[in-house]
């Protein structure tokens, strides 16, 4: 399998990377309750930050690597214009990286990141993110988009004329 390619343009913030650990003992899964709540460092509604998940421990010694983020779901989203919003998502430096903006002050949001690996493994880690009351509720600034409202992550391959190189589905090719 192809190992992650270092991105020359974008570096995920190390302070907002959560390593996803492999289960401690597969034999007792289901017999012993696993109560693990993952959470990123809090952000204010006005912040636009990248948050990442490192799945390398789960994929250790499999020869497998993260291939894509299929979708990011925020089941606690309120429907308001200031709700926590995914501005873009991408595989960057082998991490599942998402850019988030907005959010209701004082709330704890849940984010589910659906990923697929090069060998077809599918994972859906759930993470919590507290929105501090440091600022008022703020409408997120939208990310640059291509036709069809497809967001352009910072590791999209850009041609010299400024256009984004895309694949058959209209999705940008990435340095991932």
pLDDT tens digits for range 12-68? 888 999 998 876 665 656 665 555 689 999 999 999 999 999 999 988 888 889 999
Q: Is 148 part of a structural domain of the chain? A: no
Q: Is 162 part of a structural domain of the chain? A: no
Q: Is 55 part of a structural domain of the chain? A: yes
Q: Is 21 part of a structural domain of the chain? A: yes
Beta bridge partners of 126: 112
The per-residue pLDDT for 97 is 96
> What CATH number has the domain bearing residue 71?
2.60.40.1220
At residue 1, does pLDDT exceed 60? Answer: no
At residue 70, does pLDDT exceed 90? Answer: yes
Q: Is 169 part of a structural domain of the chain? A: no
Q: Is 130 part of a structural domain of the chain? A: yes
**Number of domains composing the chain:** 1
At residue 5's C-alpha, the angle toward residues 164 and 118, to 5°, is 90
* Predicted confidence (pLDDT) per residue in 82-109, tens digit: 999 999 999 998 999 999 999 999 999 9
3-state secondary structure 118-156: CCCCEECCEEEEEEECCCCCCCCCCCCEECCCEECCCCE
144: confidence class by pLDDT, cuts 50, 70, 90: confident
Q: What is the mean pLDDT of the chain?
A: 87
The per-residue pLDDT for 132 is 96
For the record, the structure tokens of 32 come out as 């012993």
Q: Is 98 part of a structural domain of the chain? A: yes
Give the range of the structural domain holding residue 127, as residue numbers without chain letter. 14-141
Q: Is 53 part of a structural domain of the chain? A: yes
* Predicted confidence (pLDDT) per residue in 118-137, tens digit: 999 999 999 999 999 999 99
The per-residue pLDDT for 22 is 75
**Which residues, in sequence order, are CB contacts of 82 under 8 Å at separation 6+?**
45, 102, 103, 104, 137, 138, 139, 140
């Amino acid at each position: 399998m192809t190992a992650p390619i270092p991105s020359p343009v974008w570096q995920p913030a190390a302070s907002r990377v959560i390593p996803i650990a492999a289960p401690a003992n597969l034999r007792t899964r289901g017999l012993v309750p696993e109560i693990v709540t993952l959470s990123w460092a809090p952000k204010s509604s006005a912040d636009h930050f990248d948050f990442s998940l490192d799945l390398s421990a789960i994929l250790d010694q499999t020869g497998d690597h993260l291939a894509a983020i299929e979708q990011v779901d925020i089941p606690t989203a309120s429907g308001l214009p200031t709700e926590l919003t995914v501005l873009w998502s991408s595989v960057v430096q082998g991490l599942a990286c998402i850019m988030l903006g907005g959010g209701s002050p004082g709330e704890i949001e849940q984010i589910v990141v659906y990923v697929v690996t090069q060998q077809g493994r599918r994972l859906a880690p759930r993470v919590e993110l507290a929105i501090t009351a440091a600022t008022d509720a703020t409408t997120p600034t939208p990310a640059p988009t291509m036709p069809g409202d497809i967001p352009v992550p910072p590791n999209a391959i850009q041609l010299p004329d400024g256009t984004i190189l895309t694949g058959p589905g209209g999705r940008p090719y990435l340095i991932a």
